[in-house]
Every structure is written in structure tokens, then in C-alpha cells.
Amino acid sequence: MGWFDSVEHNRWLSAQMQALIAEAEGAIVPTGFAHLTVEGDPDPTRSIDLAVTARMLYVFSLGTLMGLPGSRRYADHAIRCLNRFFVDPEHGGMWTSITPDPDADGNGVPWDEDGRAKSQYHNAYVILGVAAATVADRPGAHELLSRLLHDQERYWLEGNGLVRDQFVEDFSEELPVRTMGTLLHTAEAYLAAGEATTDPVWVERAEIMASFVHEVASANDWRLPEYFDASWKRLEGEPVGQADRRRVYHGYVTGRALQWVRLALQIRSGLRSMGRPVPDYLKEMGVELFERARVDGWRRTDGEPGFATVVGPDGAPLVGEDEHQQWVVCEGICATVALRRALLDDHATPGEVEHYEHCYRSFVDYVNDYLISSPGRWVRRLDAHNREVTAAKSSRWDVYHAVQSMLAARVPLWPPFASALSRGLLDKPEEAPSDKRSWNFFGHRV
């Protein structure tokens, strides 16, 4: 019996997932969810980040849908904070970082001038989290999702179907940078929004983004550059003007390719569920991106397990950026699950998916052997030889990646995680029957 057919393996996955969600409760503060100290306490020296709070909303909404006691309170706290403290009352949109406590009048306060910037990278996580909360029927989620999607069409979507990355606070000026990370998280958020609203336009928009990524990757030996200019031409060197404190990468990020594997195959499955034509490139894209990331990134330093975070044009890990980061192997797990599931849904034989099952076992073993330091607490960063890196900053915001990696094998490719849970598809990973009648083809229904 393989791991995918094992009740005990599913129990192990469930135990890790529940511990992760329980550990995330410790990040709560009055205005959202905090970065943490190495001891696991909210760090008062750091801002309350919009993306962190949104990711926490997402995982607690999943916990709510799975019936985990306590999750509703934390999901509802996140919704209240997003609605009350992060919203810019003057210019609209949401600030990217605020103080841990409100002002004397009970209003949110930007952490600093950079915290006033508007960021689509952050917005994508908010849409993802609020879509999950909408599926979980949390108070205020439906209305907030409607406003968020309206803002997407007003400010962020470009005529080419891609998205802007950042604006100054009043939306009067956009920053001249586009990023792969923002694009992929927007596509993921749009898939969740499509299911939550039953509006297929958001799935169609995600497919347009995937088509662009396929074009870029197939012309670049299936490696994905991270930075582009305002015309979506690749940028050489570091981006200028990035104001939302994201890490700057200097090569090809293996985790980005692994994330697009899952997204491409989810889009494919979503289109099939709606009875829409399915472009051939989506399956090719999933297979090719996975193999390139695996060959470039896995076991590259003296045969040590783990994914190098960044590689150069020749596929060799970049010195100084060859760490084994938690989020990358989590996305590797999700990618192998997606490929195996997509092939099985296409009636592949057991022999045709054996390669992905082997990869899955290797990646999950790595999580068990190197990352889980105690239940619910995973190491974020290891060096190329799997020694823990003493980071200047700690956080729990990778819980989003970790929770999905523990759920991926237990749900179908489509619908997205929250909707799969709401439809009772946990531990029923086979492709769900098409249900075109559930889709609203006449406009938004938020």
C-alpha cells in the first residue's frame, strides 16, 4: 500500500496540520496577527503585516471548515481587523503594515511611511483569506470580498490581463516593477474568489496569467525570472522602488516554479469542471516546471536533501541564496500531489505516477526529518547542509504553505482548498464530478 492510500499517513498529515493551526493562535494581537520572536511570542518591535494577517485568516478559515474548535474566533478576529484597522479611510485600499495597537479613537495606524504603500502582493493574500472566510460563512466576509474584487478591477488589473504590483498611498503613482510572486499569488487568489463568488471570470483571469507564465518559462528553459518592468519585460538586477519589505531575489526562485505547477493544474481542473475548453499547455507547463525545479534545486549540495531557494542561469544554486527554506519544500509537496492527481484524473496507470509518489515521499520525509522541531513549530530556514540558520527575524507566516502541504494529498485538485472542505471532499481526492449549474455565468454573486 502506498502513502496516498494509507489511513495512518492521512492521520499523520492531519496531526501536523492541526498542530500548525493551533500554534498560529499565538500570533494574535489587537490589530491583527504579528510576526513572532524566536520564542514564539508576538514581536513588539515589528509591524503587523497585512499579508501575515491575511494568511492567518486563511488558515483559520480552513480550520473552521474542518470543524477545529477555536478557529472561528481567530478567523473572525482577522476579518474585523482587516475591515477596521488596515483599511485606508481616506484613499481606499489597505495599508501594508500597521502598529500592534489602535490609536486612542480605535483606528489603525500605519507603522511608517512604507506601511502606507498599497501592494497587490498583500492584496492577493487578503482575497485568498477572505474568499476562504466567505466559503466558511464568517461575518463580514462576503461584503469585504465584494469590495476587494471591485478594487481589483478599478486599480490593479491591467489591459493585458496581468496585474500592477504597487502604488503609493493615494493611488496617484504606480511603482515601475512587476513581480512573478505577485502574479502567481493573484492567480491563486482569483481561483479561490471564482469558487467563492461562483463567477467564472476570475478563473478565466487566472488562466490568462498562466498563459503569460507559460510563454516566459518555455522561452527560458522552464526557469522563471522574478522581476519585470512596467511593460512586463524582464528586469536585470534588483528592482527599484519596492516599498513593501519583500525579500529581493537575485536569480530564479525554485519555489515559484513549484507553485505554478499546482496553479496550472488547478486551473486546468477548474476549467474542466465548468465544461470549458482546456488548453494543452497547462499540463505541459506543470510537468516541465516541476522537472526543471527538481533537477535544478533538489539535493544540490553534497547530496544533501532540500531545495536550493535560488539558482542561476545554469541551474546551479546561487552562493548565499542556496538555503533550504521551509516554504519551498512545502510547495514541492503540493506540486507532486498536483501532478500525480492530474495524471490519475486523466486515467494514468500506477506506473505513470510512480515518479511523483517517490518525490512526494522524499519531500515529506525531509519535512519530518529536518523541519518539524516540535508539534506545530517548523524551522523556516536551513543552510545548504541543513544546519539551522539563525535568522534576524522570525515569523509564523509560512504556516500558510505548511498547512496546504499537509492538506494537498487529501483533497481534489478542484475546487480550491476551502471549497473542497466545504463540499465534504476531505479524504476524497479523486476529481469531483462536474457541476456547471453551480457557476453563475451572468456576473458576480458575492
- Domain assignment of residue 431, yes or no: no
Element (H, E) at 398: none
pLDDT digits (tens, 9 = 90+) for 53-78: 999 999 999 999 999 999 999 999 99
- Domain assignment of residue 439, yes or no: no
- Domain assignment of residue 219, yes or no: yes
Q: Write the CB contacts of 141 (distance below 8 Å, at least 6 apart in sequence).
A: 79, 130, 133, 134
Strand blocks (E) in 209-357 = 227-228, 252-253, 310-311, 324-325
pLDDT digits (tens, 9 = 90+) for 86-135: 999 999 999 999 999 999 999 999 999 999 999 999 999 999 999 999 99
Sign of CA dihedral 59, 64, 68, 72: positive
Supply the CATH number for residue 293's domain: 1.50.10.10
Q: Write the CB contacts of 430 (distance below 8 Å, at least 6 apart in sequence).
A: 344, 345, 412
Alpha-carbon gap, residue 204 to 87, rounded angstroms: 28
- Domain assignment of residue 92, yes or no: yes
Strand blocks (E) in 278-320 = 310-311
Q: Which residue type is seen at 435?
A: D
Range of the domain at 65: 3-424
- Domain assignment of residue 340, yes or no: yes
Q: Which residue type is seen at 8?
A: E
Alpha-carbon gap, residue 227 to 239, rounded angstroms: 7
- Domain assignment of residue 438, yes or no: no
Q: pTM for this one?
A: 0.96
Q: Write the CB contacts of 209 (distance below 8 Å, at least 6 apart in sequence).
A: 161, 162, 163, 183, 184, 186, 187, 190
Residue 253 near residue 289 (C-beta atoms within 8 A):
no
- Domain assignment of residue 443, yes or no: no
For the chain, percent of residues with pLDDT exceeding 70: 94
- Domain assignment of residue 429, yes or no: no
Number of independent structural domains in the chain = 1
